[in-house]
Structure 1
């Protein structure tokens, strides 16, 4: 793979645009940078492109059908109405990187991002330094597993794992298993365990699942056709969608769970010895607990004033940071409903890279980022 990235010996490795993250968002950004004629480099913490998908639970498939799950320039092969498996999509990302000829340094986790005299310095966990006048952060949303404080209240003899470490039924000790959290991953894990374990699923807020098909068409087709995937975060429909946060019903609704012998429980409220205590006062003694309480962002590695607020949230407007030269791709509701989906990665990347190039051309009559 060709690149004009320069290495100044013992000094930092220099490039014009550093893209942090080589998943679908980072690769979409790389595609736009290549079209714009900009020198760039991607770095990713995983050992290989697509590993963030390969390492997730065995039965995982994409939320969206193949028809809207491709990145620009390379269709995702297979039945357009079907759903790609995690391994299939991981292989697709690896192929996208290869076909695009993108320079990627894998196994490179960025532990600190700073800005000095208008230049960003990204420091990897092994001490390497990457310098660039512009950075696109494409690390994906909610990368750190969220586990409530109750994890410390269960005795040591009870197995506890986060759903991010769940692979299949063999990942979990025999006997009764408690799933805490009934989002898509919690429901999928419950179904995967139901044939071999007694499964309790502790639910949280009411969930809205939408049907897979409406009038013979994929619901996602309707969402795209009606413009709902383009709903802005602060629009009336956008605010409603964010509040409800529905996900597709693909055989993981309450009725199916019950039919598969999953026991639906109310919210987990406390732990009493080896017993889990639920909101209705009922008690159960599980042999294993799988926490499916979601994920959270962690951006304390971005050590730039004005980039992150006091609560650790990224500050940006449609992916454009108030810090000159800093951009984001792949944030939930970054520009619209599609932003957190593969379907929105290409459009958001095009907007961000277009904004980056406009900023460069406004500052320099002859762009320093152009070849």
Structure 2
């Protein structure tokens, strides 16, 4: 069995940044990526996705994003950048290597790969991120819905929904962006449990990330506060708020039930709909750590600031917030 210094599980932006950091410490990481490319989840996001952080705040360590530093890169630019980063990193990156399980082995770990191979490692970095497992909430009657149900991770463009009645569930950035895009060609409602909260993308003429960096508020405590549903805000340059104010889409309190092809709204009205898009976030994709006892009952890692509370040689990078 082959042994390595550090096995980094996941070859997206988190795994690549972790590998860069390990190199600066004189270690020789091996990056294991399940897919056939080093771009994480980015190639699978919807076609129109654009970052709300400018290029100057979107770079990984050691390589500027390139181009106009004040522009907001789109999905394909991010994919291209990550591929370029991986090529220049100078690290052993193995695509098509899915990790099924990580177990303790002596003072280190043994990784079981999907192809039957095994890899020994002195340490492990779990960098599969917070976007590998779509969160599909147990909405009343959802399993009986006769229309189309898809998570936002499966959404690509509004073309298949033209002229249809669509409900988008969620209150975050993706929910609002997708609902507004769909409203150009479909009849759309944004269903939320609370009103949408807004935060300007460029307060006082400078990008939000400039102010967060200048004030030091981009630290972890702010992220934990922002994670709470009561304080989560949609970052907006004015377009999305105006679209909702114009009723394209309209925002409604969350429906109470689904029956066949219809939803029952909070006011008791029933309406047939063609599709429900769940923009309801993601869960950590860390099932391979279950043999270590490193996860809680909800499948989330037991850690403090990325350091595992279960094993000193295990670290987490890329978790939400």
**Alignment-derived partner of residue 142 in structure 2:** 151
Report the CA distance between 1:288 and its aligned residue.
1.5
3-state SS of 1:133 partner: strand
Post-superposition offset of 1:325 = 0.8
Residues 200 and 238 in structure 2, CA contact (< 8 A), matched pair in contact too: no
Number of aligned pairs?
Answer: 316
Partner residue in 2 for 1:119 = 108
> Mind listing any 5+ residue stretches in structure 1 that lack a counterpart?
1-11, 334-371
**Contact between 2:166 and 2:189, CA under 8 Å: does it hold in 1?**
yes
Say whether the 8 Å CA contact 1:209–1:253 is kept in structure 2: no
Paired position in structure 2 for 1:54? 43
- The answer on whether the counterparts of 2:194 and 2:253 sit within 8 Å (CA) in structure 1 is no
Deviations 1:25-67 (A, max 9, x none): 1111111122222121001122111152112101101131111
Q: CA deviation at 1:222?
A: 0.8
- TM-score w.r.t. the length of structure 2 is 0.91
Q: 1:254 to 1:218 in 2, by over 3 A?
A: closer
**Which of 295, 298, 301 lines up with 2:282 in the alignment?**
295
CA contact (8 A) 1:56 1:167 kept: yes
Residue of structure 2 equivalent to 1:246: 233
CA contact (8 A) 1:173 1:288 kept: no
Structure 2 CA distance for aligned equivalents of residues 46 and 80 of structure 1? 30
Indicate how the Cα distance of structure 1 residues 254 and 110 shifts in structure 2: closer, same or farther if over 3 A, else same.
same
1:128 aligns with: 117
Residue 174 of structure 1, CA deviation: 4.4
User: Which TM-score applies when normalising by structure 1?
Assistant: 0.80
Residue 316 of structure 2: aligned partner: 328
Among candidates 307, 311, 315, match of residue 294 of structure 2: 307
Deviation at 1:87, TM superposition (A): 0.7
Alpha-carbon offset, residue 264 of structure 1: 1.7
Instruction: Please identify, of 95-104 and 143-152, the stretch whose mean Cα deviation from structure 2 is larger.
Output: 143-152
**Cα distance in 2 between the residues matched to 1:161 and 1:102:** 37
Alpha-carbon offset, residue 239 of structure 1: 5.4
- Tell whether 2:285 aligns with 1:286: no
Which residue number corresponds to residue 155 of structure 2? 166
The 1:252–1:153 alpha-carbon spacing in structure 2 relative to 1, beyond 3 Å, is farther
SS of residue paired to 2:56: helix
The equivalences for 1:1-371 within 5 A come to: 12-50=1-39, 52-149=41-138, 150-155=141-146, 158-172=147-161, 174-230=163-219, 232-233=220-221, 240-243=225-228, 244-251=231-238, 253-259=240-246, 261-322=248-309, 323-333=311-321
Conserved? CA contact 1:180–1:268, under 8 Å: no
Shift of 1:83: 0.9
Task: Give RMSD over aligned pairs.
Answer: 1.9
Gapped runs of 5+ residues in structure 2? Answer: none
Rounded Cα–Cα distance in structure 2 between residues aligned with 1:289 and 1:306: 36
Q: CA deviation at 1:306?
A: 4.3
Classify 1:30/1:239 alpha carbon distance in 2 versus 1 (closer, same or farther; 3 Å): closer
Q: Give a deviation string over 1:314-334, Cα, whole Å, max 9, x none.
A: 11121111302111111233x
In 1, Cα distance between equivalents of 2:144 and 2:66: 47
Is 212-221 or 258-267 further displaced after alignment?
A: 258-267
